Amino acid sequence: MSDGLTPEQTERVVAIAMDLAREGRTDELAEFVDHGLPVDVTDPAGNSLLMLAAYHGHAATVRALLDRGASPDLRNDRDQSPIAGALFKGEEEVVEVLREAGADLDAGTPSARAAATMFGREHLLAD
């Protein structure tokens, strides 16, 4: 993602995109990705746009990122997966969207299955 940007400018664009994901500003974030921002770009802690959108409960943003090729299983530097984060937060609609996208329920630490058990949310993974 250079497009003539300095490393500082690239860092700023990524930071803005991370904020958009955190805030669930789907249309604006989609524009960034549609104009060349890698959909699986990560912040300094290894959180992807999808991870931040999932953790903050923005199902529409999660869906838009998945539609643009985001990996549902990209884990952060703490080995946490987006679906485990959504389970931790009790974000039912996000869990459903990630399950539909084929998120690995056994990936990460804790895995989505373990997180569901830990937080009494096993019903979110029931078929």
Q: How confident is the model at residue 126 (pLDDT cuts 50, 70, 90)?
A: confident
Residue 57, both tokens: 């409960």
Tens-digit pLDDT profile for residues 20-76: 999 999 999 999 999 999 999 999 999 999 999 999 999 999 999 999 999 999 999
DSSP 99-119: HHTT--TT-SSS-HHHHHHHT
pLDDT at residue 91 is higher than 70: yes
Q: Which domains does the chain have, with CATH numbers?
A: 7-125 (1.25.40.20)
Sign of CA dihedral 86, 88, 93, 97: positive
pTM of the model: 0.93
Of 20-24, 68-72, 87-91, 95-99, the least confident: 87-91
